[in-house]
Amino acid sequence: MKETLNLALLTAGSITHNPVSRYPGIVKLIGPVKAPTFREASRAVNALKGGTAVRSIEEMPSSSLFLLSAPERYVPKLIRDMVEAVPDWRGREVALCSGALDSRDLEPLAKRGAHTASITPLELFDKPVFLVEGHPRAVQRWRTVLATTRGRVLDIGLHGLPLFTTASDLTSLILLPLLEAATGSLRRAGIPLADAQKMVERMVSRTVRNHVKSGSKTWRVPPHGPSRLRIERQMAALAGTGAKLDAFYQDSLEAAIRFMGRTAQPKRKAAGA
């Protein structure tokens, strides 16, 4: 017999920016909705066009799957409210959908018997993809819920989310300054901005294509790293730019060579040299 799902939503903040609102299949499963105030819960229900606002966690059926979906700053308070309202969470599944937080942030509920998990929706593909980690029973139950989106579920293992956020930061937070440095280097050579940006775009696209095709085989660093003459001339060209590109480039180059397993490293010039 097909399992009847009763999804209880605990939320806070703007529901229009909440990931749940982007998946109609999940919204259809939502029953009780709890927010910091009954007014906020009512607003969430109206915006979602699904669920029923409740005033307390005690009004949520014990058989429900509990989804805690809110910005990180609200999560500790929501969890405290859940623990205070229901001391015994044995046999219940609770999932957290909140940025970089994962099932370990639900430990106060796990200590009271809940099976906990985290769900991270990805917007990198044409169809929905969700990273899920946590207690095996909770992961299996949430697979059933997420099947309503006709998307894919990737089980990333217990507490595996930081490995995903590492990849995300490497390709955004860490990559963006490198792209800006590359563009700035071309601009200082006298290349117009539009041409510099197009050149960097094509350089990066070529690198990505080669990486997807051949992986680490695309690394072309010589056994002892870039030549001393090449590095010295690069440093001389970047010196005095006022943008600290020389130090930034040197640090990045050394890190890349270490990561690729090379033993020889470009030697940093002594201060004042």
Are 37 and 114 contained in the same domain?
A: yes
Partners of 65 in beta bridges: 7, 93
Q: Is residue 184 part of a domain?
A: no
Q: Is residue 61 part of a domain?
A: yes
- pLDDT of amino acid 235: 73
Q: Domain end: 154, 169, 184, which one?
A: 169
Tens digits of per-residue pLDDT, 67-88? 999 999 999 999 999 999 999 9
Are 245 and 129 contained in the same domain?
A: no
Are 264 and 134 contained in the same domain?
A: no
Tens digits of per-residue pLDDT, 224-253? 556 667 777 777 777 766 556 666 777 777
Q: Is residue 12 part of a domain?
A: yes
Q: Is residue 215 part of a domain?
A: no
Q: Is residue 60 part of a domain?
A: yes
Are 96 and 161 contained in the same domain?
A: yes
Whether pLDDT at 263 is above 50: no
Are 70 and 153 contained in the same domain?
A: yes
Q: Domain end: 140, 169, 198, which one?
A: 169
pLDDT bracket for residue 141 (50, 70, 90): very high
Q: Which domain holds residue 34?
A: 7-169
Are 77 and 141 contained in the same domain?
A: yes
Whether pLDDT at 4 is above 70: no
- Report, as an integer, the average pLDDT of 45-64: 90
Are 164 and 245 contained in the same domain?
A: no
- pLDDT of amino acid 30: 94
Whole-number Å distance between alpha carbons of 72 and 81: 15
Among 12-21, 26-35, 130-139, 210-219, which stretch is predicted with the lowest mean pLDDT?
210-219
Domain count, the chain: 2
Q: What is the number of other CB atoms lying within 10 angstroms of the CB of residue 157?
A: 12
Which CATH number is 121's domain given?
3.40.50.720
> What is the average pLDDT score of the chain?
86
Q: Domain end: 139, 169, 199, which one?
A: 169
Between the two ends of the chain, the Cα-to-Cα distance in Å is 77
Which residues, at least 6 apart from 236, have a Cβ–Cβ distance to it below 8 Å? none
Are 251 and 149 contained in the same domain?
A: no
Q: Is residue 41 part of a domain?
A: yes
